[in-house]
Amino acid sequence: MHQSITDMTSPDSRQYSEVWPGGRTNHYWFDLNRDYLPLVHPETRGRVEKYHEWKPNVVTDHHEMGANTTFFFQPGVPSRNNPLTPARNYELTHKIADIHTKYLDRIGAAYFSEESFDDYYFGKGSSYPDVNGSVGILFEQAGFRGRIRETENGLRTLAYAIRNQFTVSLSTLDGALLLKKELLSFQKDFYEEALRLAESNQVKAYLFGNENDRINNNALIELLNRHQIDVYRNEKDVYLEGKNFKAGSSFIVPVKQKQFRLIQTLFEEVNTFADSAFYDISTWTFPYAYNIPFARLTSLTEVHPSADKVSAQRIRGSLTGEKSHLAYLFRWNEYLAPAALYLMQKEGLITKVASEEFTITLNGKSEKFSRGTIIIPADNQLKNHEEIYNVVVEVANKTGVDFFGVKTGRTAEGINLGSSSFILLKKPEIIMAAGNGINSREAGELWHLMDYNYQIPVCLAEPSSFRQINLSRYNVLILPGGSPVDLSGETATKIKNWVEDGGTLIVSPGAISWATRNELSKIKFKKGVEPDSTRFLSYSDRQKESSLNAIAGAIFNADMDLTHPLCYGFQQDKLPVFKTGNQVAEKLQDKFAVPVHFNSQPYLSGFVSAQNLERIHNAPVVTVESVGKGRVISFHESMAFRGMWRGTARLFSNAVIFGNTIR
């Protein structure tokens, strides 16, 4: 739509700049070339399913990079290879690269290899094959984004870029045919060697399970199944590594499987590295991402695996007790509890949350309910008892959340059901800034969490439109990171007035500076790590200085105040948090302002320098500040990173749902 009939080659032209959010992403603004391990999106699930149907020997992954570069083909930087990838894989990659060289030389194309990019993270299209017995090859062509364009290498055309990508497609086919026997032998040996490695491995199986969250258990089982990994139910109570694993609600993944390497990369922590630089993240331990307890088994005699493999099943909730004329309860521990609550509120039902614990007898059994328990009174509603009962049964069936029908408001311990410690909840009416100046990745992660996972609607609004929007219609405003120039001046004042009138403003890491500039937050940040002036680096190694203290993506342990509304539903006061970037906040003076913070020994997995680790000690993960009658909730890390970090995502949904109950 921006092309001229005559050639317009200036790099300043509108045609070379993609409109927000850019053309690379899917519907929810995710980069699908990071989703091969998490399998969050249906597009990737389909691709991985097709991958395992074919079990290809060579996979090519074609991309574009900056316009002033040339053409890249793998291998990447040798020091950044993932140690789980067999050396034979890289040997075959080099052999195929020799053929790319001949083909590109023939057409006079400039190229480079082994200087950039890597295959460390297995969640990309060029690296997922490497942990599945194939050879993945990344191609990066200088991206001109138009029919013709001025570059440092002269005028370049779209046709030129197409020619290069097509040429290496032919060279890959040629190489695959020439190396047919070696590629077939490599794939066969890959899986045979996996079984031998598993046999000699000290860890014989991984045990995982959260008895309080069947939905997350099921989600992890589904992920493993999609990756062709077998899972068995544990039928024996086990206490291991300080954790209880209950029979029936815990699961076993034996390592002696053809996917041994993939099992390792999904479950293991990583703390040794050959290089300090990473093209992507440095760790991705999935039980931490799902906040599911797990342990390593050195012997299968400690557990009792089921005879048959288990697969993911649809979880259906149930109703304990009968149709109630008094109230219904449900716990906040299941991952889809926010979806269940919203469905009740959507039906116009009054809902309240327990801010204190209580115990009640149901069907002769003592049931303990923690803070965060939701109560739906049966009286004084717009629906009659029969209609409420039908809604409860339907929501339980749809979400997998268990409900309890009560016959008395008198509890055995703790608050009674008519207590003022049950706080009225407002149905979330959410608006989120999304558009020019906003980080589309952050916005997409949060939109996907609320819209796709919980089916709670979010109004996406251009920052420029906030000037005209009537904010009183909403009670939650989400501001992802970025540099939204349209949210300054009078618009910023308008947002501040809305918060002071009782609104809940939720800001992502990249938006905290906006909140402080506009007097909505008092957060300050710790000083970054200074380069070591005594360490000698040659001029050619100058780029290593920044990578030594960069946090490309690592996992740290946080402490939670389980009495705080943002922590409702969590059963343990420890939470694995994924951190990217070097920004670390100072603690506020208000001792109740930081319900979640990194603890004094936070390191779990991934690359981090000693200096940065020291900065992270006891630093806040979430900060809550009162502004007039409202509150500003600042998340210092990405809570829904790539849609895979389901544990911390619950903190974000709690902020949306319980933010207005914080005093």
pLDDT tens readout for residues 357-414: 999 999 889 999 999 999 999 999 999 999 999 999 999 999 999 999 999 999 999 9
CB atoms within 10 A of CB 270: 21
Whether 9 maps to a domain, the answer reads no
**Which residues lie below 8 Å from residue 134, measured CB to CB, with a gap of 6+?**
55, 56, 57, 58, 59, 187
Whether 45 and 159 map to the same domain: the answer is: yes
Q: Which two tokens stand for residue 640?
A: 């829904």
Q: Which two tokens stand for residue 503?
A: 């609104």
Are the C-beta atoms of 499 and 627 separated by less than 8 Å? yes
Residue range of the domain that includes 354: 319-424
Mean pLDDT in residue range 86-100 = 97
Whether 642 maps to a domain, the answer reads yes
| pLDDT, position 542 | 63
The total domain count for the chain is: 4
Whether 191 and 205 map to the same domain: the answer is: no
DSSP symbol at 79: G
The DSSP-derived string for 523-573 is --BPPPPPP-TTS---GGGTTHHHHHT--SSEEEEEEE-TTSGGGTT-SSS
Distance CA 594, CA 614 (A): 19
Whether 328 and 304 map to the same domain: the answer is: no
Query: What is the β-pairing status of strands 596-605 and 574-579?
Result: unpaired
- Give 537-543's long-range contacts (Cβ < 8 A, gap of 24+): 543/277
Mean pLDDT in residue range 307-333 = 95
| pLDDT, position 275 | 82
Whether 88 maps to a domain, the answer reads yes
Which residues face 430 on adjacent strands?
458, 476
Residues, the chain, total?
Answer: 663
| pLDDT, position 539 | 65
The one-letter amino acid code at 296 reads R
Q: Band of the pLDDT at 536, cuts 50, 70, 90? A: low
Whether 390 and 513 map to the same domain: the answer is: no
Whether 343 and 360 map to the same domain: the answer is: yes
Residue pLDDT, tens place only, 21-39: 998 999 999 999 999 999 9
The one-letter amino acid code at 497 reads N
Q: Band of the pLDDT at 254, cuts 50, 70, 90? A: very high
Whether 363 and 486 map to the same domain: the answer is: no
pLDDT at residue 631 greater than cutoff 80: yes
DSSP symbol at 585: B
pLDDT at residue 243 greater than cutoff 80: yes
Percent of all residues in the chain with a pLDDT value above 70, rounded to a whole number: 98
Q: Which of 190-194, 307-311, 546-550 has the lowest mean pLDDT?
A: 546-550
Distance CA 573, CA 621 (A): 14
Whether 398 maps to a domain, the answer reads yes
Whether 299 and 355 map to the same domain: the answer is: no
Whether 7 maps to a domain, the answer reads no
Whether 563 maps to a domain, the answer reads yes
Query: What is the β-pairing status of strands 305-309 and 374-377?
Result: unpaired
Residue pLDDT, tens place only, 598-625: 999 999 999 999 999 999 999 999 999 9
Are the C-beta atoms of 440 and 376 separated by less than 8 Å? no
Distance CA 651, CA 648 (A): 5
Distance CA 287, CA 225 (A): 15
CB atoms within 10 A of CB 335: 28
Whether 160 and 180 map to the same domain: the answer is: yes
The DSSP-derived string for 105-173 is HHHT---B-SSS----STTSTTTGGGGTTSEEEEEEEE---SSEEEETTEEEEHHHHHHHHHHHHHHHH
| pLDDT, position 586 | 96
Which of 626, 607, 628, 629 has its CA nearest to residue 616? 607
Whether 473 maps to a domain, the answer reads yes
Mean pLDDT in residue range 249-258 = 97
Distance CA 198, CA 256 (A): 5
Are the C-beta atoms of 293 and 266 separated by less than 8 Å? no
The domain boundary, picked from 309, 343, 371, lies at: 309
pLDDT at residue 535 greater than cutoff 80: no
| pLDDT, position 541 | 65
Whether 135 and 112 map to the same domain: the answer is: yes
The one-letter amino acid code at 525 reads F
The one-letter amino acid code at 311 reads S
Residue 602: give its domain's CATH number: 3.40.50.880
Whether 385 and 464 map to the same domain: the answer is: no
pLDDT at residue 416 greater than cutoff 80: yes
Residue 348: give its domain's CATH number: 3.30.70
Whether 37 and 160 map to the same domain: the answer is: yes
Q: Which two tokens stand for residue 372?
A: 């965060």
pLDDT at residue 563 greater than cutoff 90: yes
Distance CA 285, CA 288 (A): 6
| pLDDT, position 279 | 87
pLDDT at residue 276 greater than cutoff 90: no
Whether 400 and 438 map to the same domain: the answer is: no
**Which residues lie below 8 Å from residue 225, measured CB to CB, with a gap of 6+?**
231, 311, 312
CB atoms within 10 A of CB 411: 18
Are the C-beta atoms of 312 and 239 separated by less than 8 Å? no
Distance CA 198, CA 263 (A): 10
Q: Which two tokens stand for residue 570?
A: 């969590």
Whether 489 maps to a domain, the answer reads yes
| pLDDT, position 213 | 95
Mean pLDDT in residue range 240-268 = 97
| pLDDT, position 170 | 98
Which of 456, 506, 251 has its CA nearest to residue 336? 456
Q: What is the mean pLDDT of the chain?
A: 95
pLDDT at residue 537 greater than cutoff 90: no
Residue pLDDT, tens place only, 101-151: 999 999 999 999 999 899 999 999 999 999 999 999 999 999 998 899 999
